[in-house]
A and B are shown apart, each in its own frame.
Chain A
């Protein structure tokens, strides 16, 4: 039952992701700069998801895509948060150096510590904690300074809601995924966790859909 539920949520999530990608590509120019910078992440997510589904149906191991996806996640969200935080050029360089350094660490982790054909719990946990931290930082910086009646501010806030909810909700799933394998927990018993992950993905992409929709439905006032 859990497996069917996970597959159903997985399909729903894919539909919303496709809609989001179409929205962001078709209406790219009409979206505020900060909001449209999420397109890197969405394109990467769709590409990885389609590739992993194809490999799954071929009966191939697709876990190496999780390593690629984790790196992509870091870079794409790094780009988004760099736009959101509006750093000075010096801080921007430092920010990108940090993200780049972390990216190298992820690659080294995949080469030496967590083989690409297995789960990358260390890398995924690190990236998720970082993204949750970025989202919390956004809320602290934004408090009292943003106007939630304005579309752009509302959209960016919704994206941060999505990041905070999804990455903190699934933190424990990815943190322990390698450990579960090492402890010999059967994949059937892990289905409950993947249902939660798929459900949170649906919520995550729904929130991103709302954030893309808000600036489009509001016409500028003259």
Chain B
């Protein structure tokens, strides 16, 4: 069956039209798809940069906080503490030099005040940076920390330490101590736990801290205020020393935390 030129022309027009329309549609679809993907990747990168920036800020603030704590603890111990000792000695000197009998009561009051101030200064300095941590190491500092909590609350707090020999880095020890401090502080404030167990295991090439309580637990993935500064601090501290950590908790199921720092 022969076609007339007009028929051929119209068929050709239709085929060209179909081809062009399909080409345009395909180009549009591909342009959309790749532009959208590029846009999304850029958005993700911007978000990652923002998260990294926030993390750096948090790390810097933790570092500054730690340095400031150390400075304050030393100032209190070296400056205020020694000056209080001098005041105490001076008072004793004055008393020996023969003060009037009516001044005896004032001396007694002043000695009491100096003693209390010295104790308070020591306590503040100790809270800021436990000397036990510097002098006797992490295991003893944790033992001391647990003792303090045991004295102030009826919660059954168990602490276990095992060692298979290794030298512990001071920064790692300090951060593990702060993490344990934070965990205990949170437990006593919010968890309503009746039993807590902490274990510290010093291996030849690793340090492992575990914490477990039988409290009310919480949802670690919940957004907003539930994931407070305490948890963020723990995460940041672990990241600072590049330690692995895992937090397991759920409402009504208590809280478990494990941290491990390995070295070669």
Contacts and interface: CB of A to CB of B under 8 A. Distances in A.
Interface string B18-50: 100110111011001001110110000000000
B14 interface: yes
Contacts of B7: 183-185, 189
Interface residues of A, number: 32
Contacts of A179: 10
A184 B26 CA distance: 32
**What DSSP secondary structure best describes chain B's contact surface?**
helix
Most central of B3, B13, B36 by chain A CB within 10 Å: B36
Interface residues of B, number: 24
B155 interface: no
Contacts, number: 73
Interface string A150-173: 000000000001001100111111
Contacts of B39: 143-144
A96 interface: no
B27 to A, nearest CB: 11
A189 B9 CA distance: 13
B24 A168 contact: yes
Chief secondary structure at chain A's binding surface:
helix
Contacts of B21: 168-169, 171-172
A147 B40 contact: yes
B12 to A, nearest CB: 11
Interface of B: 1, 3, 6-7, 10-11, 13-15, 17-18, 21-22, 24-26, 28-29, 32, 35-37, 39-40
Q: Which 8 A-B pairs have the closest CB atoms?
A: A172-B17, A168-B25, A168-B21, A169-B22, A172-B14, A139-B32, A185-B7, A164-B25
